[in-house]
């Protein structure tokens, strides 16, 4: 919602020849994980509970920044295409497993567990409680965003994935996990747009 990406969105929304009925927006997760995560953590000391490990003033400021970014999106929509529905979601309860994703010869990961270890937070239950707190708080922010604006649809995807079987790595579901998420997003889209074709029908028409 800033810099060149914002300007691209502004051009899209301000284009009078372009009709936008629905806009799917997934953002905010990267503001909390990877190299950002240690900013919101205190260095572990013996006896600390999970809440003690959170640098709450820093985390509060980051959530205000995320909230402000979503407000910019609503303002942009309202200024140019107030009839457009914005669909959002909250990230599911990620697991700090240390699992990475392998793409050809490249390996990407270290978004959660490695960041906790940098702060000396080695206990998995504490790591998981911190992640769960941050993401459920994100979900609350999305609920508030939906309640404060017209034509905002917050898709309740949090709690969809099985922590033991639906995660391919720390942040991305397996194929079956993604399918579970798709079902809920498709249902939300069809609530607003009942005649929307099924994804399978769209793919078939493209192939033909």
- Whether the model pTM is above 0.85: yes
Checking if the pLDDT of 119 tops 90, the result is: yes
**Looking at 117-126, 145-154, 189-198, which range is the least confident one?**
189-198
**CA-based nearest residue to 53, from 133, 170, 111, 163:** 133
Checking if the pLDDT of 206 tops 50, the result is: no
What is the per-residue pLDDT for 22? 96
Work out the burial of residue 86: count CB atoms within 10 Å of its CB; fewer than 13 is exposed, 13-18 middle, 19 or more buried.
buried
| pLDDT single digits (tens) 150-196 | 999 999 999 999 999 999 999 999 999 999 999 999 999 999 999 88
Domain borders along the chain are 3-207
What is the per-residue pLDDT for 142? 98
Q: Mean pLDDT across the stretch 194-201?
A: 72
What is the per-residue pLDDT for 108? 77
Neighbouring CB atoms inside 10 A of 85's CB total: 18
| pLDDT single digits (tens) 37-65 | 999 999 999 999 999 999 999 999 999 99
Cα 193 vs. chain centroid, distance in angstroms? 23
Q: Which CB contacts under 8 angstroms, 24+ apart, belong to 175-181?
A: 181/89, 181/92, 181/157
Tell me if 44 sits within 8 A of 53, measured CB to CB: yes
What is the per-residue pLDDT for 53? 98
Judge: domain 3-207, CATH 1.10.3470: no
Q: Mean pLDDT across the stretch 119-130?
A: 98
What is the per-residue pLDDT for 197? 73
pLDDT top residue among 177 and 104: 177
What is the per-residue pLDDT for 199? 60
Task: Please give the Cα distance from 84 to 128 (Å, whole number).
Answer: 37
Any idea what DSSP says for residue 193?
Answer: -
CB half-sphere exposure, 75, CA atoms < 13 A: 8
Measured in Å, how far apart are the chain's first and last C-alpha atoms?
36
What is the per-residue pLDDT for 200? 56
Sign of CA dihedral 32, 51, 43, 101: negative
**CA-based nearest residue to 160, from 143, 138, 176, 144:** 176
Mean pLDDT of the chain: 92
What is the per-residue pLDDT for 12? 96
What is the per-residue pLDDT for 203? 47
Checking if the pLDDT of 208 tops 80, the result is: no
Q: Mean pLDDT across the stretch 135-155?
A: 97
What is the per-residue pLDDT for 121? 98
């Amino acid at each position: 919602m800033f810099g060149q990406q914002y300007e691209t969105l502004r051009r899209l929304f301000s284009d009078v020849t372009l009709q936008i009925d629905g806009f799917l927006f997934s953002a905010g997760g990267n503001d909390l994980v990877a190299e950002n995560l240690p900013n919101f953590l205190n260095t572990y000391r013996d006896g600390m509970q999970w809440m003690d490990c959170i640098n709450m003033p820093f985390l509060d400021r980051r959530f205000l920044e995320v909230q402000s970014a979503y407000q910019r999106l609503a303002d942009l929509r309202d200024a140019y295409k107030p009839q457009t529905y914005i669909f959002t979601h909250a990230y599911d309860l990620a697991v700090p497993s240390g699992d990475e994703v392998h793409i050809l010869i490249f390996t990407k990961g270290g978004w959660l567990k490695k960041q906790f270890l940098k702060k000396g937070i080695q206990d998995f239950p504490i790591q998981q409680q911190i992640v769960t707190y941050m993401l459920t708080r994100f979900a609350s922010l999305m609920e508030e965003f939906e309640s404060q604006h017209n034509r905002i649809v917050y898709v309740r995807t949090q709690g969809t994935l099985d922590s033991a079987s639906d995660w391919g790595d720390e942040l991305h579901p397996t194929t079956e996990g993604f399918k579970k998420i798709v079902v809920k997003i498709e249902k939300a889209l069809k609530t607003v747009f009942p005649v929307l074709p099924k994804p399978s029908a769209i793919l078939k028409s493209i192939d033909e």
